[in-house]
Structure 1
Amino acid sequence: MENFALQPEHLPDCHALLADCVANLPDDAYSLAARLAWAGIWDEDCRVNWEARLAGAWSVGLRDGDQLLAFAWLTQAGELDMLYVAPWAQGRGLARQMIQQLEDAAAAAGVTALHAWASHAARPVLEAAGYVMLRPNRVVRDGIPLENWLMAKGGWQEPAAARSDT
């Protein structure tokens, strides 16, 4: 297994892995419509958005040969923005390994107050890594509501101006 820093040319494979992960979530967690809205499509707008987000982040990808197993990134503002492990590679501690690597990189740069918007699947992984749930959250993508949770570690607190009742 190889550990590597993500580059823009890896992003189409990352999006495909994200789409596979989201497609494999159980219906009782997210409806088919919600999963389709979450995964979205890989197009020019998505590419531009992801490249901008990746540019301001520490990142890690894990692959076995040419096959992407997992990827994650943590923004320089302390947000765990992406964390995905291929469905067939889950249960091996890859998410925890990536979280630790990203947190170590952030800590070396002085960033220790961390947060994430966790899905049903990510919440237990983040709780095991020491994150605590601050509040439930709802986002709307393509008119479809998606439930998640704001989680934090290292003393991060949500700015009062960012809070909403949704």
Structure 2
Amino acid sequence: MTHLHIRPYREQDARALTDIFYDTIHHTGLAHYTHAQVNAWAPLPKEYHRWQQRLALWPPIVAELDGRAVGFITLTPSGHIEWTYTHRNYQRRGIASRLYRRLEEQARQLGITSLTVDASRFARPFFEKQGFAVVRENRTIRAGEKLQNWHMAKPLFEKGAS
């Protein structure tokens, strides 16, 4: 892999990040969810305008390879990781781990004391490797389809620190 660049979000990234979201769910998600569940999670056609607004609200950290966005992760002010997606052609190469490390650094600098995430079936093992623990199982209904994920948390302070 050539040089991976981790950088802040730029407004012109919105379309590429939207494509990564949809592509990841509609391809990688099928290993863990039904077609109907995937379509409920990421309904087509792609909602570029809506995603542009959402990304502006919580500007992500972007992974770029050879000038092309290949992944992103977002942090809300409350310490919740809203999205973590890596393009399907670049998964299992450490990109999400690099994005996560940058996000955790940023969270610590902001004084956030713990992180949370609602992890899908395919994201849960990744977050467990990052030190997250399951708090509870979530079951939601979206577009008439039952979806399952896990609310996970990770403290960002060292035990015994004051």
TM-score range, shorter chain: 0.7 to 0.9
2:13 to 7, 10, 24: 10
* CA pair 47-139 structure 1, distance change in 2 beyond 3 A: farther
RMSD between superposed Cα atoms in Å = 1.7
- Structure 1 unaligned residues grouped into runs of 5+: 156-166
**TM norm structure 1:** 0.83
Distance 1:60 1:28 in 2: 26
2:52 to 44, 47, 51: 47
Aligned counterpart, 1:130: 131
**TM norm structure 2:** 0.85
- Kindly provide the amino acid, as one letter, of the partner of residue 120 in structure 2: S
- Structure 2 unaligned residues grouped into runs of 5+: 157-162
* CA pair 62-28 structure 1, distance change in 2 beyond 3 A: closer
Q: How far 1:76 sits from its partner (Å)?
A: 1.6
Are the aligned partners of 2:6 and 2:61 in contact in 1 as well (CA < 8 Å)? yes
Q: Sequence identity of aligned pairs in percent?
A: 26
Are the aligned partners of 1:12 and 1:42 in contact in 2 as well (CA < 8 Å)? no
Aligned counterpart, 1:163: none
Pairwise mapping of residues 21-40 of structure 1 onto structure 2 (< 5 A)? Answer: 21-25=24-28, 27=30, 29-40=32-43
Aligned length: 151
Distance 2:7 2:109 in 1: 18
* CA pair 10-38 structure 1, distance change in 2 beyond 3 A: same
- Give the secondary-structure state (helix, strand or coil) at the position aligned to 1:110: coil
